Chain A
Amino acid sequence: MKQSANNPLNSKKERKNLYTGLAFLAPTLVIFTTFILFPVFFSFFLSFHKWNMFSANKSFIGLSNYIKLFSDPEFWRVLKHTVIYTFGTVPLNMLFALLVAIVLNQKIAGKKFLRTAFFTPVIISPVAAALIWRWIYDPNLGLLNYFTGLLGIPAINWLNDPSAAMFAIIIMGVWKTFGINMVLFSAGLQAIPDSYYEAADIDGASTWSKFRHITLPMLSPTTFFIMIMSMISSFQVFDIVYVLTSGGPLGSTKVMVFYMYEKAFKFFEMGYASAVAYIFFAILAALCLLQVKYMRTKIYEVT
């Protein structure tokens, strides 16, 4: 490639910077390109093909997969479920995580126990967690109906009721993942220098105003990270749905990745599944960009 006069790489300093950057990135780049980037592009390639994964030949079919996808009413339903799950889980998850992290940042008895308790769900293997939750939700022998029964609430078949199943999934989703965000918030809280609070104390600031004017702004890079990551991971919810309801009853908990997984590994339509993945990517990326934009204005606001 001919180098134009305004190519930034022309200057020696720029080139040196690039080399330094690449040197730091090298280990990651090697593995990343091989095991993540290549597969990601390969599945993009697949999204224009018909391939059942068993056979050696893939036939090119252009945009057919994408066209088929947009005309499948199930795709839209699945997208709706995914959005409901995400907006049901992320706020609850972050609220709990922040609350617990703040309390654990105070003087409180038995911190070690508490931290372990809140992190337990993260540690339990998903296979084991599913087993136990299926049981908790059992309509006849389950713990949940036992406790709601004590309060006089009639029994609900949590996993078999189209209006209750998504709720059951969200509860387990929050339970299983909020420990991760708690740890992240804790790390973020600890990074806030005490001197800020001491100064505020001298000014006679209330607890709320300290939270509003010190904790929240100082935490915003962490919050930003958690928000993006929670969005991505709840958009990609799969395990919980797979083991608890398998998308049922009546398809009421079928989410995007489950739909994609089903196309790939139940019906062996790998090309179609890849197309789903890319549409899904576009939606998710758009949502995240919105977040980034919103957060950026927020961060500027407080600084």
Chain B
Amino acid sequence: MYKEKIVVILIISLLLLNIDCGQNTKQRKEDGKVTITFWHSFVASTIPALKDLIKEFEKEHPNINIKAQYVPSGDALIQKLITAIQSNTAPDISWIHSHFLPDLVDAKAIYNMEEFVNGKNGLSEQTYNNIYEPLIQYASLRDTLYSIPMEATNLAFLYNKKMFREVDLDDSKAPQNWGQLRKYAKLLTKDKDNNGEYDQMGLFLPIYPASGSLSGWMVWQWFPFLWQAGGHIVSKDQSHVLYNSTAGVKALNLWKDIYNELDLEKFTSDYDIAFASERLSMAMDGPWNLPRYNRLLKDLDWTFAPLPEGPEKKATIVGGEYLVIFKQSDYPDEAWSFIKWIIQPEVQAKWAMKSGYLPVRRDVEKVPEFKEYLKNNPNFKVFIDQMEFAQVQRKIDYHGLQITRHIAQAIEEATLGGEDPQVTLDRAAKKSNALLQSVPKNEK
């Protein structure tokens, strides 16, 4: 009996004690240097640019080390952030998506960025005003700035020029308005082998499962159409949603008509592969894919152009990634100095040229190297030019995640599900409004 017990105890102690070989990563100060941990999820093609950026910063700031750590994106990033906050292992700076802000703010996990912007080592008014307004909006929550944009993106139109020529279209002009968009899409869709199925698709529309990780990306691409038709997402006082207005129905009807005419239901969702293998003529995409496309599409005759104009106006959507400073950071001031450094015009210019992202401020266009770069990279210039009619979006301040999901469901139900856009949008709006009405008045 005793022997047995001894063996058991031995086993437990072996298991618990003998594997103590982990290391603590929170040691920061080594030989007087401060180490700032920075989490991000940049794609492979951006990593060299990031490394150069950090090297340069460290050269100018010999007392600060930047430890950039890749964290898988999407859900993985949010899970890491939650657990890091819970366990006091949050990084100093993290790269986040705008829709994480409400929860991070409510948890009091991140600094109010205005403390730094207006602080001793703050930003000049001129700098602040040079940052594109839509970005400032996304970086804020309920009119308070909680983050600083690191780079900007927007949505433009991608097309294959050779395919345009094949159907006698002017290959220097993308569709200019909704009518042309629909016409071109139909014209460029072909059943080459006459088997009753299209093997060349005119236009790709991003219809993804509303519950999937790409549903935000779908809604993001639909918003420009809503705005082009003169619509809004939400009312100014945040009391109800407006996306089910006539404008919203028009925008969704356009998508639905094209979706049905091209039989997009049967088409792959890997649009970039389809475009690269010349089975797709037109799509919408962002600038982050430019470095990839330059490689992937090197044998194709392709170009980017601005989005077509809507019945009411020109519009595109702006996105970006935002840097936050965690309250758990031991060196918030050093973290801020990195953020402040990164949004300088010269740094932004270099970062943009190497990474393919857009600068976050207007005056970068005055940097001589950048001017030269724009001349030689017309595709990149399309995105920069589009920033001028990028919409200042009325942000959804409350229940943004749920409301985005409602819109995604409406889009999916109207296209793939074949329902009437007015019906699906109204159904979604009813759910969204119920949520907005549940927000206590004094919170607004």
Contact = CB atoms under 8 A, between A and B. Distances in A.
Interface of B: 1, 4-5, 8-9, 11-12, 15, 75, 78-79, 82, 85-86, 103-104, 106-109, 196-197, 199, 208-215, 265-270, 273-274, 277, 279, 401-402, 405, 412-413, 416-417
B91 to A, nearest CB: 15
Nearest to B213: A246
A254 B5 CA distance: 49
Contacts of B106: 52, 54-55
A20 to B, nearest CB: 7
Contacts of B4: 20, 23-24
A52 B211 contact: no
Interface of A: 20, 23-24, 26-27, 30, 52-56, 138-141, 154-155, 157, 159-162, 245-251, 254, 258, 262, 265-268
Contacts of A157: 265-268
Nearest to A267: B401
B266 A246 contact: no
Contacts of B196: 154
10 contacts: A20-B1, A26-B8, A52-B107, A53-B103, A54-B107, A139-B266, A157-B267, A160-B416, A250-B417, A251-B210
Contacts of B273: 141
A258 B210 CA distance: 13
Contacts of A248: 208-212, 412
A140 B409 CA distance: 25
Contacts of A141: 268, 273, 277
Given A26-B8, A265-B75, A266-B401, A250 B197 contact: no
Contacts of A249: 209, 412, 416
Interface of B is mostly: helix
Interface of A is mostly: loop
Contact of A140 (B9, B213, B274): B274
B211 A251 contact: yes
B412 A245 contact: no
A55 B209 contact: no
Given A54-B82, A138-B270, A250-B417, A30 B103 contact: no
Given A52-B103, A52-B106, A56-B107, A262 B211 contact: yes
Nearest to A265: B75
A254 B108 CA distance: 33
A143 B109 CA distance: 48
Contacts of B104: 54
Nearest to B418: A250
A262 B103 CA distance: 16
Contacts of B211: 246-248, 251, 254, 258, 262
A139 B266 CA distance: 7
B402 A160 contact: no
A53 B402 CA distance: 17
Contacts of A265: 75, 78-79
Nearest to A16: B1
4 A-B pairs closest in CB distance: A248-B209, A246-B212, A54-B107, A247-B211
A251 B8 CA distance: 50
B209 A246 contact: yes
A20 B15 CA distance: 21
Nearest to A149: B195
Contacts of A245: 209, 212
A126 B267 CA distance: 25
B103 A268 contact: yes
Contacts of B210: 248, 250-251
Contacts of A24: 4, 8
A30 B413 CA distance: 50
B119 to A, nearest CB: 25
B266 A155 contact: yes
B157 to A, nearest CB: 22
A139 B267 contact: yes
Nearest to A156: B266
A108 to B, nearest CB: 40
Contacts of B82: 53-54
A251 B209 CA distance: 7
A271 to B, nearest CB: 14
B212 A161 contact: no
Which of B15, B103, B401 lies at the interface centre, i.e. has the most chain A CB atoms within 10 A of its CB? B103
A259 B103 CA distance: 20
Nearest to B12: A27
Given A157-B267, A248-B211, A267-B401, A54 B85 contact: yes
Given A138-B268, A248-B412, 9 more contacts: A27-B8, A27-B15, A54-B109, A139-B267, A157-B266, A246-B213, A249-B412, A265-B75, A266-B405
A23 B5 contact: yes
